[in-house]
Amino acid sequence: MKWYLNVLSNYTNFTGRARRSEFWFFVLFNFLFAIVAMILDNILGTTFKLGYGQIMPYGYLYLIYTLAVFIPGLAVAVRRLHDVGKSGWMYLIILIPIAGPIWFLILMFSDSQQGANKWGNYPK
């Protein structure tokens, strides 16, 4: 939870480096809170309705939560890319179908670049 709150407090910080633990704990808690928002949408009846009686599994609470954590999630991903020695613009690699997201995951699982790089000191 400490890492999640740390990411939220640094939501405008696109400089520096983020360790694997900071990124992956943010992803974990973000996933859990998104599921809770979806469950609350279903309990409260605030889900999106499609035509012909179809109901989406998410609604307004999920949408608000997702919009609230979009910039912090982007910032921690950019800092994580800096930690492995890549530019933050490498985030755009996820736009390449199939291979892009796979390469992005490989970068997110990679170990930190040893020593200082142009984005900051070694975080460990």
- Give the pLDDT mean for 83-108: 95
pTM over 0.85: yes
- Give the pLDDT mean for 24-39: 96
DSSP assignment of 56-100 equals EEEEHHHHHHHHHHHHHHHHHHHHHHHHTT--GGGGGGGGSTTHH
Q: What residues does each domain of the chain span?
A: 2-109
Query: Phi and psi of 116, rounded to 5°?
Result: -80, 145
Each residue's pLDDT tens digit, 19-31: 999 999 999 999 9
* pLDDT of the residue at 97: 95
Each residue's pLDDT tens digit, 63-81: 999 999 999 999 999 999 9
Q: How far apart are CA 25 and CA 86, in angstroms?
A: 21
Give 37's contacts (C-beta < 8 A, 6+ positions apart).
Answer: 58, 61, 62, 64, 65
Share of the chain above pLDDT 90, in %: 70
